[in-house]
Amino acid sequence: MEKLLGLQIKMKNFFIILFITFLGFEIKSNEPFVILEYNNQNLNNELNKKNINKNNRFIKDHNYSVNHKVKEGESLSEILNKYYGNTGLNMKIIEISLIEINKHAFVRENPHFLYAGKVLKIPSVSEIMNLVRKAPDKNSNSKSSQRNHIYFYGN
């Protein structure tokens, strides 16, 4: 029993000395490090928050399109959100398509400057898909033919 008690005291002293020794050393790192926490539950909650509106007419009918008269002070993003909000569609592609179809409604084709009073054709999902998919006409060399398509390069 005395041997066991002596061993416990020696172990206790060893850990105290070890602890004091490490307190004297500063831990230094040459590079900063970041600890990231991944919580799969948060990712699932974010996806569920997106509340996609399945009753949107553009989602229900891929051939549905409508005309919209631009009001004074109205922005392109307001118009896009009015018709395509919460659809889950890529708003950048929709914006580019709307600009391509309605060049007459923009000052120098600038999406930040809409003419008030112009009528915009709000394209259907099918029309947007055709703009994205359509290959250029190989027989035509005109610039207008080349400008009526949207191309995506890369991955």
Domain ranges for the chain, please list them: 57-147
**Of 111, 102, 108, 109, nearest in space to 69 by CA:** 102
Q: What is the mean pLDDT of each run of 10 residues along the chain (155 residues)?
A: 70 70 57 51 50 87 94 92 90 91 88 91 92 63 51 53
CATH architecture of 57-147: Roll (3.10)
DSSP assignment letter at 108: G
Q: What is the pLDDT of residue 49?
A: 52
Three-state SS at 55: coil
Residue 86, class by beta-carbon neighbours within 10 Å (0-12 exposed, 13-18 middle, 19+ buried)?
A: middle
85 CB-near residues (< 8 Å, 6+ apart): 53
Q: What is the pTM of this model?
A: 0.56
**CA-based angle 150:142:63, to the nearest 5?**
40
